[in-house]
Amino acid sequence: MTNETVVVVVEDDPNIADLVELYLRREGFRPYQADSGERALEVIAQRRPSLVLLDIGLPGEIDGIEVCRRLRRDSQVPIVFLTARDDEVDRVLGLELGADDYVTKPFSPRELVARVKAILRRAGARADAAAPGPIDLGGGIVVDRGRREVTVDGEPVALAAREFDLLAHLAENRGLALSRRQLLDGVWGPDWVGDERTVDVHVRQLRKKLGEGLALTTVWGVGYRLD
Ligand code: CA
C-alpha cells in the first residue's frame, strides 16, 4: 500500500466524514470526501479510488444504495457500506449489491481503517495472483480467473467482484462440499465479520446470472458443492 492509495468517503455527516478522513490520513491514505450521492459519483469518476466508503442515507436524489448500483455497472472497486441501522444491513444483504463489507454506526474509526486495509490487501492479492487458465464448468460456462471473466455459451456475464471470487473458489474446489463458513473464510477472508446469509445471497445471484447450466448443488445442513 502506498501513500497514493485513494479512498473516497461518502458521508453527509461532517463529523463522521472528518473523523474517518483523519484516521485514513494518519495511516497514509489519500481520502476525498463527498457529501451526497451526486457528488460521490463525480468524485469517484475523477479520483479513481482504490476503495469507497459509502453511507446509505444521503441527501438528494441518489442514496448510497443507488450509488453502489451505478458503480457496479462498470466497476469492481471495493465498497464498504456505512450503515446506521439493522434494517439497512438487511437491505444491503438483501439487495445483492455486491458490496465488499459493511460497518454499523457508531463504529470505531480504528476498526474501520483496519477493515479497509484488509480488503485492500485481499484485492491486491487477487490482482497479483498468477493468471491461471480458464476452467470449463460444463453447461456452457467457462470461468477465466486470469481475465476475471465468466462466459456462458461464449457470452460474457457481468458478475460483482465477490460473485466472481465465490465462483472461482467453488471452481477450484470442484466436487467438494464446502460449508458457508469455509466459503466465507476462502472468499471473504477469515477476518471478515458478517453473516453466513451473505453466502446464500451470492449463490442466488450466481444461479440467476449463470442459469440452469451451473452445476451448483445445495448440500443440506452443510453448504454448497460445485460438480
Ligand atoms: Ca447519512
All cell numbers assigned to 115: 477493515
All cell numbers assigned to 223: 453448504
Centre of ligand 1 from the C-alpha of residue 18, in Å: 13
Taking CA 50 as the corner, what is the angle to CA 10 and CA 134, rounded to the nearest 5 degrees?
Answer: 130
Centre of ligand 1 from the C-alpha of residue 179, in Å: 36
Strand partners, 34: 10
Centre of ligand 1 from the C-alpha of residue 168, in Å: 35
CB 106 within 8 A of CB 180: no
Mean pLDDT calculated for residue range 99-113 = 89
Centre of ligand 1 from the C-alpha of residue 51, in Å: 19
Centre of ligand 1 from the C-alpha of residue 81, in Å: 11
Reference 6, options 41, 32, 43, 39; nearest CA is: 32
Mean pLDDT calculated for residue range 13-27 = 95
Task: Please report the pLDDT score of residue 66 as a whole number.
Answer: 93
Which residue type occupies 8? Answer: V
CB 184 within 8 A of CB 178: no
Task: Flag whether pLDDT at 55 surpasses 90.
Answer: yes
Number of H helices, E strands in the chain: 8, 12
Task: Flag whether pLDDT at 130 surpasses 50.
Answer: no
Tens digits of residue pLDDT in 57-75: 999 999 999 999 999 887 8
Tens digits of residue pLDDT in 170-208: 998 889 899 999 999 999 988 888 788 999 999 999 999
pLDDT band at 85 (very low <50, low <70, confident <90, very high): confident
- What residues does each domain of the chain span? 6-128, 135-226
Q: What does CATH list as the number for 6-128?
A: 3.40.50.2300
Q: List the beta strands (DSSP E) in 84-197.
A: 101-104, 134-138, 141-144, 149-152, 155-157, 177-179
Mean pLDDT calculated for residue range 142-156 = 90
pTM for the full model?
A: 0.58
Centre of ligand 1 from the C-alpha of residue 171, in Å: 39
CATH fold of 135-226: Arc Repressor Mutant, subunit A (1.10.10)
Centre of ligand 1 from the C-alpha of residue 55, in Å: 6
Buried b (16+ CB within 10 A) or exposed e, 49-61: bbbbbbbbebeee
Mean pLDDT calculated for residue range 214-219 = 96
All cell numbers assigned to 61: 436524489
Centre of ligand 1 from the C-alpha of residue 125, in Å: 32
Q: How long is the chain?
A: 227
Same fold, 6-128 and 135-226: no
